[in-house]
Amino acid sequence: MDRAEAELREVVDRLRQEVTGLRRAMRTRAVIEQAKGLLVERLGVSPQEAFDWLSDHSQQSNRKVAELAAELLGQAAPGPPTGPQPVGPQPVEPQSTGHRPPADPPAGPPPAGSPLPADPPPAGPSARPPAPAPARRRQLDATGATRYHLAAAALAAATDERQLARAVGEVAVAPLGASAVVLAVTEPDGALRLVAGHGLTSRRAGQWRRIPPATTVPMARALREPGPVWAGPGDDPVIPGASVCALALRAGDRAIGVLGIGWPEHFRSGPDTERYLRAVAQLCADELARCAAGRPADVAGPGERWSRTVLDSLTAPALLLTPLRAADGRVVDFGVAHANPATVDLAGRTAAELAGGRLTELYPGLITSGALAGLLRAHSRGEPYEQELDPLVEVVDGTPHASSLTLRAMPLPNGLLLTWRSYDAQRRAERQLAQAWEFARLGTWHWHAGDTALACSAGFADAVLGRPGGTPLKASEIEEAVLEGDRPALRQAARRLLDRCGKAELDLRIRRPDGGLRELRVAAESNGGGAAPVTEVHGVAQDVTAQRAAERDSAADRTELAERRRRSVAEHRVIRALQHVLLAAPRAPAVPGLEYAARYLPAEQETKVGGDWYDLFALPDGSALVVVGDVSGHGLPAAAGMGQLRYALRGLACTGAAPGALLALLNRMMLQQRFDYVATAVCGRLDPAARTFTWARAGHPPPLLLAGDGSARFDAAPTGLLLGAVPEAEYGATTLELPPGATLLLYTDGLVERPDRHPGSGAARLREAASEYPGTSLDGCLDHILRRLEAPNPRDDSCLLGVRLTTG
């Protein structure tokens, strides 16, 4: 059934649009047909050829066919003569344009772009001579005649006074710059009653619904004075505009009404303009008489003069409906006889658009909803009618419109008074509140003086207090639900709102019937002020249970993070102190013929403190043991591991073992004692007397040899796995011959490795930095290298040890 109703609505809307198009076409059809007849008579062509001629000229000049046809008629018959002639256009012999016709009639219409066809000469005894010169002077000019014929077609298509006023305003006088039209009819006592307007506000129309005969307003004077009555700004309270004109509408010698025209700016008229306005007034008088003859009986009865004024003063929409009968006398539909200015329907159509229409054409949904049957029953029985329509769906111009409303109808002597109340704004507000509750857990409540309960928005009372949505909540119920610790604040806020007419905000904890605890943020405001009593309190409440829980969790997380940071800072201080103690520990006596310098740079990030270390001490045979190492991991465990390996290597060195053997013993010790870390190291024995450096490595970068001439090189490195990885690991050794002035540079990976650079690029940059140092100071060389390599490393500690022979 819903699909069938939708299809029916679409069909009715399509038919409505077709009828509207046909009514527009009727306005111009008469003009086109007259022009076709003129061409057929003058050129001796068929009606289709005449229309083709009009179409070709329309395309050539980029003008509408109706305008071209009206211009043709204007040249042949400029319009009706003015003066005391009968109302309406009189037949006038076409005037010649000065062109002589060809000797033989053409076989077809002239080509596109040629001048309009000329008048043929009079022929036969029935031909009339051209109009005399005085008559021609009384006729309209060509431009006015064109407008006249278009206006005549538009006014002839009007079916009531409202459409007539609109046609006059939009077609007849709009080319003159006019913006307002007022149409009034005479009453038996000589007064004027406004029946329609175009460009007229509802307030002005309501204030001047009836104009007494003795007034001096231009519309009343037009009934007493001959010719048009002109007035300037402020002289006419009825017709809006800076310049206004009022013309009497006459049927023979009897004045049947007045046409008022207003211009927004000062308008200068002339003889041609006044002749044209008189012709329009004659047309309007004829059509007004026709509309009055076909107008249905008044549905308001004898009180029509004041009843419509009362309806127009209402802020609610109201329609006066008149019954429409079938051939057998049955009432089958209603016509809209009057719509008050407040009427705007669900499709946005105003009173001017609804007046004069059929109810079923305007609202076909009334048929499917059963409302039309109810209206017909109310009219036949003479009893009120009311129905809820939720929703009423209509299709207008292809767009569906829906509205929820209550329809009411009251019987009148000759029809019905139809009113309705729309709930669209209320339903929309309810949906928005429901969405606000779903999204932000936000609800509203209000209390009126004399009420025993608070009204809450849907969803709020149910979610917070376990009550159905829309159920009023008593103050005692709310107080019982609030936790005892929050009740004093609730009572204090209530007293402040009721006594001093102010605002209040507070947090409340609510115990639901199911035992759940909810936390609310409540804001309230009372009206009144001063000595005025409080009559209403309204407010907003938000369920902030999840928010408060998140805040508590966030506070706990912040506390935990602060504690972790405190422990991290303390651990960092301990690590730094431990590194300082270990790296600055007392050493063996200096080795003759040997100079050394060291740099230790901690990571920029405090949490990345590592286990980098170095050592250099003398051996009993006069040589020196040089060591650089790196323990895996960061923090205190890495620093402690560095201390263990450093002192273990010192103890093992007393055995006199070679560097490779020392690393093997250190690896075995780490695996037997199950150290929970691994380490890398370079361990070498430097003999100043023999000028040799014998070294081994355990997964550590090889040392760099810097010669006295500034050249730097990495020699082939022996194999060796990192310490603590596998048992029985073997560590080979190699021996370097040290030239005079040579410097050995030992370092950890934090100096040359960065996560944003290629893994092999750090060693090359170290070699370049060392070889380009021009000085001879060992400390200066180390500082230069650190600057070039952008030390310290933000993620890892860096260690650099330089050793140089001082004897030749």
Q: List the one residue out of 187, 162, 276 whose CA is nearest residue 228.
A: 276
Mean pLDDT of the 571-600 span: 71
One-character DSSP codes across 442-480: EEEEEEETT-SEEEE-TTHHHHHHS--TT--EEHHHHHH
- The token pair at 176 is 């003159």
Predicted confidence (pLDDT) at residue 648 exceeds the cutoff of 80: yes
H or E element that contains 113: none
Mean pLDDT of the 68-96 span: 47
Mean of pLDDT over the chain: 77
Q: What is the pLDDT of residue 660?
A: 94
Confidence of residue 107 (pLDDT cuts 50, 70, 90): very low
Of 23-27, 171-175, 206-210, 570-574, the one with minimum mean pLDDT is: 23-27
Identity of the highest mean pLDDT range in 266-270, 433-437, 790-794 = 266-270
> What is the reported pTM?
0.38
Determine the 3-state secondary structure of 541 from DSSP.
Answer: strand
The pLDDT tens digits of the residues spanning 134-143 come to 333 344 566 6
Q: Which one has a higher pLDDT value, 551 or 67?
A: 551
Q: What is the pLDDT of residue 444?
A: 77
Pairing between β-strand 743-747 and β-strand 517-526 as defined by DSSP bridges? unpaired
The pLDDT tens digits of the residues spanning 382-413 come to 899 888 877 776 666 667 666 777 888 998 87
Q: What is the pLDDT of residue 84?
A: 38
d(CA 50, CA 35): 8
Q: What is the pLDDT of residue 804?
A: 92
Confidence of residue 788 (pLDDT cuts 50, 70, 90): very high
Q: What is the pLDDT of residue 463?
A: 65
Predicted confidence (pLDDT) at residue 588 exceeds the cutoff of 60: no
Predicted confidence (pLDDT) at residue 95 exceeds the cutoff of 50: no
The pLDDT tens digits of the residues spanning 613-629 come to 899 989 988 899 999 99
Whether 753 and 763 have beta carbons less than 8 Å apart is answered as no
Mean pLDDT of the 94-99 span: 34
Confidence of residue 630 (pLDDT cuts 50, 70, 90): very high
Identity of the highest mean pLDDT range in 68-72, 113-117, 187-191, 445-449 = 187-191
One-character DSSP codes across 146-174: HHHHHHHHHHHT--SHHHHHHHIIIIISG
C-alpha distance from residue 394 to each of 169, 320, 474, 632 (Å):
30, 21, 43, 78
Mean pLDDT of the 556-578 span: 80
Predicted confidence (pLDDT) at residue 602 exceeds the cutoff of 60: yes
Proportion of the chain above pLDDT 90, given as a percent: 20
Whether 91 and 73 have beta carbons less than 8 Å apart is answered as no
Predicted confidence (pLDDT) at residue 215 exceeds the cutoff of 50: yes
Confidence of residue 685 (pLDDT cuts 50, 70, 90): very high
Predicted confidence (pLDDT) at residue 126 exceeds the cutoff of 80: no
491 contact partners, CB below 8 Å, separation of at least 6: 479
Predicted confidence (pLDDT) at residue 546 exceeds the cutoff of 80: yes
Q: Which one has a higher pLDDT value, 345 or 744?
A: 744
Whether 513 and 543 have beta carbons less than 8 Å apart is answered as no
C-alpha distance from residue 86 to each of 75, 253, 280, 561 (Å):
22, 9, 13, 102
d(CA 115, CA 326): 52
Whether 282 and 87 have beta carbons less than 8 Å apart is answered as yes
The pLDDT tens digits of the residues spanning 142-163 come to 667 777 877 888 888 787 788 8
Dihedral of CA 586/589/591/593: which sign?
A: positive
Write 199-207 long-range contacts (CB < 8 A, 24+): 199/169, 199/240, 199/262, 200/240, 201/240, 202/312, 202/341, 202/351, 204/237, 204/238, 204/240, 205/312, 205/341, 206/309, 206/312, 206/313, 206/341, 207/237
Q: Which one has a higher pLDDT value, 168 or 637?
A: 168
Q: Which one has a higher pLDDT value, 121 or 692?
A: 692
Q: What is the pLDDT of residue 710?
A: 84
Q: What is the pLDDT of residue 404?
A: 74
Mean pLDDT of the 588-602 span: 81
Q: What is the pLDDT of residue 681?
A: 95
Q: Which one has a higher pLDDT value, 198 or 13?
A: 198
Q: What is the pLDDT of residue 259?
A: 94
> Integer distance in angstroms from the first to the last C-alpha of the chain?
113
Q: What is the pLDDT of residue 183?
A: 92
Following CA atoms 309, 312, 316, 319 in sequence, which dihedral angle do they give, to the nearest 10 degrees? 90
Whether 352 and 162 have beta carbons less than 8 Å apart is answered as yes
Of 98-102, 411-415, 474-478, 520-524, the one with minimum mean pLDDT is: 98-102
Predicted confidence (pLDDT) at residue 490 exceeds the cutoff of 50: yes
Confidence of residue 89 (pLDDT cuts 50, 70, 90): very low
Q: What is the pLDDT of residue 425?
A: 62
| Half-sphere exposure of residue 25: CA atoms within 13 angstroms, side-chain side | 7
Beta bridge mates, 181: 198, 261
Confidence of residue 748 (pLDDT cuts 50, 70, 90): very high
Predicted confidence (pLDDT) at residue 732 exceeds the cutoff of 80: yes
Q: What residue type is 313 in one-letter code?
A: S
One-character DSSP codes across 736-779: EE--TT-EEEEE-HHHH--TTS-TTHHHHHHHHHHHT-----HH
Q: What is the pLDDT of residue 474?
A: 80
